[in-house]
Amino acid sequence: MSEMPTTVQEAIEACRRELYAAVLSDTLDRYGLYDQSPRGGLRLLDVTKPLCGLARVGIYMPVYHDDEALDVYGEEIDLVDSLQPNEVPVLACHGLTHIAPWGELLSTRAQVLKAGGFVTDGSVRDARMIRAMGFPVVCSGTTPVDTKYRGKLALYDVPGRIGGVDIASGDLVFADEDGMVVVPAARILMIVGEALSKVRAETTVRNELAAGETLRDIFTRHRIL
C-alpha cells in the first residue's frame, strides 16, 4: 500500500494513481465543503483522459473590437507561457459559451509545458485535434467561433468562480467522467489523504460484498457505502 502524500506534488500523483471525483467529493462533504463540484454541464472533452492539477485562474470579459491597444490575446498568451508542470488554466467565462478561448495551439503549448489540462465554463474548438493529442480538457461544449472581437482574458491569478464554485490559483482541480471537483489549496493534503484512506477501505468493502456479506453488516462495520 502506498504511503500518504506529504507534499502537494505527491498528492497530485496519488490522485492520478488512485482517486476519482466521487471519493474526493465525499471527503469534501465530510469536512463541510458541500459545494465544490461546478454545475452547468461542465464535462471532459474526452472521458478517457482524467484531469488533475493546480488551478491558474483567469477571468474573461466580453469585448466588441480588437486593436493594438486592446491586444485581445495578450494576457492569455502570458498566462499559458507561464504555466508550470501540473498547472491547469481555469478560465471563467461567465456565460460566454458562444466563443472558444481555447483550441489546439494553446493545448500544444500547455502540453509541452507539462500542464495538467485546461478548464473553462466557456467552449473550446479544435476538439478532434485536442482529443488526438490526449490533452485533458473540461468545458461546457464546443464552438468554431474565436474570441477575437468577442472576448478577452482581463485578469489572471485572481479569485474566480466557475459553475457556482469559488476557485483560486493553487486549488486542486480533478475531473473524470463523473464530473469535476475543486479542493481548496489549504486543504489539499488533508482531503487527498482522507480520500486515499477511504478508497483503500472501499477495496476491503468491495471484497466483502463479493464474498456475499450484506450491505447492512458491512455499513455497520465500516461506515462506508
pLDDT digits (tens, 9 = 90+) for 175-199: 999 999 999 999 999 999 999 998 8
Annotated binding site for Mg(2+): 126
Q: What is the pLDDT of residue 109?
A: 98
Q: How far apart are CA 41 and CA 27, in angstroms?
A: 22
The CATH number of whichever domain residue 130 belongs to comes to 3.50.30.40
Q: Are 56 and 138 in the same domain?
A: yes
Q: Pull the grid cell for residue 63.
A: 469585448
Q: Are 203 and 157 in the same domain?
A: no
Q: Are 42 and 93 in the same domain?
A: yes
- Angle, helices 188-210 vs 21-30, to 10°: value is 110
Q: How far apart are CA 217 and CA 222, in angstroms?
A: 9
Beta strands 118-120; 87-92: pairing state: parallel
Q: Are 128 and 202 in the same domain?
A: no
Nearest residue to 94 (alpha-carbon basis) of 52, 137, 140: 140
Backbone angles phi, psi at 194, to 5 degrees: -65, -40
Has residue 8 been placed in a domain?
no
Structure letter (DSSP) for residue 219? H
Q: What is the pLDDT of residue 202?
A: 72
Annotated binding site: 103-106, 125-126
Q: Are 155 and 213 in the same domain?
A: no
Annotated binding site for substrate: 103-106, 125
pLDDT > 70: what percent of the chain?
A: 97
Has residue 192 been placed in a domain?
no
The pTM (predicted TM-score) of the whole model is 0.90
C-alpha to C-alpha distances, 24 to 10, 122, 131, 179, nearest whole angstrom: 16, 24, 25, 11
Q: What is the pLDDT of residue 29?
A: 97
Name the residue range of residue 65's domain: 37-183
Has residue 10 been placed in a domain?
no
Q: Are 120 and 213 in the same domain?
A: no
Has residue 16 been placed in a domain?
no
Q: Are 146 and 212 in the same domain?
A: no
Has residue 207 been placed in a domain?
yes
Largest CA-CA distance found in the chain, in angstroms, rounded: 69
- Which alpha helices (DSSP H) does the chain contain, by range? 8-18, 21-30, 74-81, 104-112, 127-133, 188-210, 215-222
Q: Are 205 and 176 in the same domain?
A: no
Q: How far apart are CA 86 and CA 12, in angstroms?
A: 8
Q: Are 217 and 138 in the same domain?
A: no
Task: Please state the domain count of the chain.
Answer: 2
Q: What is the pLDDT of residue 218?
A: 74
From first to last of the 225 residues of the chain, give the pLDDT tens digit: 468 999 999 999 999 999 999 999 999 999 999 999 999 889 999 999 999 999 999 999 999 999 999 999 999 999 999 999 999 999 999 889 999 999 999 999 999 999 999 999 999 999 999 999 999 999 999 999 999 999 999 999 999 999 999 999 999 999 999 999 999 999 999 999 999 998 888 777 777 778 787 878 777 776 666
